[in-house]
Structure 1
Amino acid sequence: MTSGSADEPIYATEGLVDVLLERAAGRAPEKETVSLSVTPAGELPDLDFPPETPVFTHFYLPTAGGSVSAVFGVDLGTPPGQTAGRFVSHPDGRFEPTQTDDFHVSLFVAVPPWTRDSIAVFDRDSTQRELALLDVEPPEDALES
């Protein structure tokens, strides 16, 4: 799924953003990097969006598959082709993508004080996009589909 045109917002659930901000605060002063996945809006309750609209709903724990990754250099914790975005924290306060960030179609960047006002989303060209938070809960089996 793509992030759409630059005029369209990037949608994410409030719950996902809150968990990402908590993880970033807990890891500071170290950086946090997390792969993010989307759920089509048609699979989410009470949304009046086109059904194919991507909504960021889940993340993959960076430690999953860690022992195999350490030995073979292959990231087995994240299913291939299933991440449409990446979250990175910048404890140094730099509120923009950096050259060391692992770019995806959408890159979420958060800085202290780790509030909803201190997170932004950028596209592959490092252009900031509108982040629209949705108060919806994804279905529990969303990752299995």
Structure 2
Amino acid sequence: MSTYATRALVSVLCELAADADPDSVSVRLAATPAGELEPTDGPLSGIDAATPVLSDFYFPDAGASLSGVFGMDLAAPAGQTAGRFVSHPDCDPSVSVTDDLHATVLVAVPPWTPADVRAYDRNGTRLDLVLVDAEAEQPDTPV
């Protein structure tokens, strides 16, 4: 079984992990259907248009003050996080019991490159991670 993520997203997540090292980081991920992505290097082939592709993330510190007051995470819209990215500075690439589990969990280890990222399902079963050269459409902003 495979999970899909944009190459740009995984690269940015690796940078976040490197910046946080020696501390770990945990980031919520959002998915976009493959048919709604803009290819960055040729057409997307072999991916069904309805296939969810991890494409965006919510900053780890967003909503921290709300969480402190209300005791729950209010920074991400309910039901809109398709996965979780976690970094393991201890170099253990497996999912641990202390990780926040989602349907899909991406785990990164040093030296923090996309090749050092592994994908798992919520049960800790390893998935193939397929990097997609595409990005989510950006909303038009007034000039």
Q: TM-score, normalised by structure 1?
A: 0.88
Q: CA deviation at 1:72?
A: 1.4
Q: Which deviates further from its counterpart, 80-89 or 69-78? A: 69-78
Q: Deviations over 1:82-129 (max 9, x none)?
A: 001000000011110000001100000000010122110001121111
The yes-or-no answer on 1:23 pairing with 2:32 is no
Query: Which one-letter code corresponds to 2:32 in the other structure?
Result: T
Runs of 4+ in 1 over 4 A off after TM superposition: none
Q: Deviations over 1:32-67 (max 9, x none)?
A: 000000000111133243221000000001211111
The yes-or-no answer on 1:14 pairing with 2:7 is yes
Which residue in the other structure is 2:44 paired with? Answer: 47
The yes-or-no answer on 1:61 pairing with 2:54 is no
Partners of 1:98 and 1:68 in 2: CA distance: 27
Unaligned runs of 5+ in 2: none
Q: TM-score, normalised by structure 2?
A: 0.90
Which residue in the other structure is 1:127 paired with? Answer: 125
The percentage of counterpart residues that share the same residue type is 49
Q: Deviations over 1:6-45 (max 9, x none)?
A: x3x2110010000000000000111100000000011113
Which residue in the other structure is 1:80 paired with? Answer: 78
Question: 3-state SS of the aligned residue for 1:88?
Answer: strand
Does the 8 Å CA contact 1:62/1:77 hold for their aligned counterparts? no
* Higher strand content, 1 or 2: 2
Report how many residues are paired: 134
Q: CA deviation at 1:135?
A: 1.0
Partners of 2:34 and 2:61 in 1: CA distance: 28
Partners of 1:68 and 1:120 in 2: CA distance: 31
C-alpha RMSD of matched pairs (Å): 1.0
